[in-house]
Structure 1
Amino acid sequence: MNPMSGVNITHSPYACIACRNSKRRCDKTYPRCTLCTQRQILCDYPYRRKERTRQMANPEADESMPIGSNTPLFNTPTERLRPGRYGISDPNISDTLASRFLDPDFFYHLQLETPKVDIAIPKMVSDYVGTIVDIQNISNTYFDSIHTWMPILSKKQFSSNLPNYLTHRKSELCLLVICMKLSSSLTTTAKTVLYRTAKQFYFEMESSGILSVTVLQAGVLIAIYELGHAIYPAAFLSVGQCARYAAALEIEKSITSQILDKLPWNEVEEQRRVWWSIIILDR
């Protein structure tokens, strides 16, 4: 009981998602913790124990699922992953993304974070990606070919992040994998169905407001494919599009910015890899 307001205060057994991501000490006040209330940001708590147990009973959501499994990643023709309480049409997401883009200094001063957005994966994309074994084979082919002369992705980082992608960021993983497959494919026809599918899915991911290094890496792989097959002016436009997307992520500051000193070295290295690749392609 709050003696000032006379309102019963309940507490969650878990810290809220915003405090977990920011590594802040959460007071677990339900429905909104004190820190999120002060910063005027969305406060959401994880599922209750029964719901988490029921969710983990699904083998697709199990982070400990073996990489060598042949279990399909998608059961329906078009699956919306982790819909949660946020949708792409949610006005709160639109306002947050606009604030981050139009006034980034004020956004970071308040220590705000953009909501995690995931979109539906088309059936054609899921067919190209396949099972976990197919993802492993596609990545092996990529790292044995394209990676040897333009190491945009970190092989170690990709392998270590794969379980997390399979559980929480499947749409970004599918986009990256299909672009890895595209860039390492051997074909005599430039504008294949695989190329058109990857290009369309990248456009949908970008239009949804997702800002991540993974999406940017996929865009660079598309630009490499277009340059290699002389698909103009698409190649010229794709490189410029990647540069603008990187500027929105402030990756161009990864070379000199002191803010990145707070990030793990492997994340900084990943940002520098993709930024230098954009510079090389632009030249």
Structure 2
Amino acid sequence: MSHEAPEACTACRRLKRRCSRNLPICSLCRRLGKDCEYPSHASQGSSSDGWTYGLFQGPDHPFPPQFFLDQDLHSPLRTTQLSWSSQPELKFHALKHLDVDTPTLYNEYASKVHIWLPMLSRKRLLDDGIESSEKTDACHFVLLLCMKLCIEKPNDVPSKSISYIAAKSLCAAAEQAGYLSLRLVQSLVLLTFYEICHGIQPAAFMTISKSARMGSLIGLYATQYSSNLFQDTPTWTASEEARQTWWAMFVLDRYMLMDVNGLPFSVPDPATEELLPVNDIDWDTGKAVASESLYTSSFSNNTVLGPFAMLCQASNILSKIQQHRMRKKVII
């Protein structure tokens, strides 16, 4: 994976030395023990800290307005069409806050978060990391920053954490620029996870709502009447990762509103024909196996439900109880 800044650092430019452009610190500054600073590439109106980002260059292919105006004129897009840009500004700003090597980040995330919320495909995550810049999702590095956020120990005020403010700002900047992809939805899900765990409300309620809307738009909750913005996912892994992500949103949404009355769910109930996530072991090894239905009278003898699938079943039952409780209060 290339972790390089687009331009030389301030010190190398001043000394007129060749800069390695390594992030977060170039080889010369590391050798001399100096602070390494790179010029900001945010647009006008952004702060030098990076907390308030201006308008970034959006994807090279803009969102098709006919999708909302006249869907008969819309042809489904390639799944990567709204997630790639020739201007790597999101990557540059995210890497400024990723002061940990990628293998260490993957391993620590797997042991602390993925073990019970396995929405990310390890295979696709690693593949995205070694892909050329022409194929990498622009929000891939924002997702890595959100992964780092979920495993680090925050300061006394979690809402003031540098990583949290940077991740939240970059998610907003990506949305404002017009990016739309599964990686951005997953970034918002991890942001919600952090906000729920640290009691950052109503931010968590708003973030899960945004991720649910965006997830519906990219087809995570598709019905026979839905219009497809994107073409069908080309592989079993990509399709299963989309399902795992939708279930992760569902679990967090129902958990957050477990003891709250009067607020609507952000994520809709699963459809009658909805499938459960595959078992965790096969998912982590990348083995393509059949999924079991959520609503079934019995499972086959060969069925092995993983912990996450059982958590999804429990969350679905919780959802029914919550709705029954709300209806009962209305009747009374």
| Aligned equivalent of 1:189 | 157
The answer as to whether partners of 2:117 and 2:248 remain within 8 angstroms in 1 is yes
2:195 and 2:168 mapped to 1: Cα distance? 11
| Aligned equivalent of 2:235 | 264
Matched, 1:279 2:250: yes
Measure how far apart 1:138 and its partner are: 1.4
The answer as to whether partners of 1:142 and 1:184 remain within 8 angstroms in 2 is yes
The answer as to whether partners of 1:97 and 1:114 remain within 8 angstroms in 2 is no
Measure how far apart 1:144 and its partner are: 1.2
Measure how far apart 1:77 and its partner are: 3.3
Matched, 1:227 2:177: no
- Cα 1:256–1:165 change in 2 (3 A) is farther
**Letter paired with 2:234:** L
Measure how far apart 1:120 and its partner are: 1.5
Matched, 1:147 2:118: no
1:252 and 1:177 mapped to 2: Cα distance? 24
| Partner SS, residue 272 of structure 1 | helix
The answer as to whether partners of 2:91 and 2:138 remain within 8 angstroms in 1 is no
| Aligned equivalent of 1:72 | 22
2:41 and 2:135 mapped to 1: Cα distance? 14
**Which of 52, 73, 77 is residue 106 of structure 1 equivalent to?**
73
Matched, 1:211 2:180: yes
1:219 and 1:268 mapped to 2: Cα distance? 19
2:78 and 2:233 mapped to 1: Cα distance? 14
Deviation string, structure 1 residues 7-28 (Cα, Å, up to 9, x no partner): xxxxxxxxxxxxxxxxxxxxxx
TM-score by length of structure 1 reads 0.61
Q: Which has the higher helix share?
A: 1
1:162 and 1:112 mapped to 2: Cα distance? 18
Measure how far apart 1:169 and its partner are: 2.9
The answer as to whether partners of 1:79 and 1:121 remain within 8 angstroms in 2 is no
Q: After superposing the two structures, state which structure 1 stretch, 223-232 or 70-79, moved more.
A: 70-79
**Which of 169, 177, 199 is residue 136 of structure 2 equivalent to?**
169
1:266 and 1:159 mapped to 2: Cα distance? 13
Matched, 1:245 2:195: no
1:207 and 1:280 mapped to 2: Cα distance? 27
- Cα 1:248–1:112 change in 2 (3 A) is closer
| Aligned equivalent of 1:42 | none
1:195 and 1:268 mapped to 2: Cα distance? 29
- Cα 1:127–1:266 change in 2 (3 A) is same
- Cα 1:231–1:255 change in 2 (3 A) is farther
- Cα 1:89–1:238 change in 2 (3 A) is closer
2:216 and 2:101 mapped to 1: Cα distance? 33
| Partner SS, residue 271 of structure 1 | helix
1:114 and 1:241 mapped to 2: Cα distance? 21
**Letter paired with 1:176:** L
- Cα 1:128–1:195 change in 2 (3 A) is same
Question: Which stretches in structure 2 are left out of the alignment for 5+ residues?
Answer: 5-19, 27-37, 43-55, 255-332
Q: After superposing the two structures, state which structure 1 stretch, 234-243 or 161-170, moved more.
A: 161-170
1:208 and 1:124 mapped to 2: Cα distance? 14
Instruction: Give the number of equivalent residue pairs.
Output: 208
- Cα 1:124–1:159 change in 2 (3 A) is closer
| Aligned equivalent of 1:134 | 101
Matched, 1:200 2:162: no
2:124 and 2:223 mapped to 1: Cα distance? 18
| Partner SS, residue 89 of structure 2 | coil
2:197 and 2:225 mapped to 1: Cα distance? 31
Measure how far apart 1:263 and its partner are: 2.4
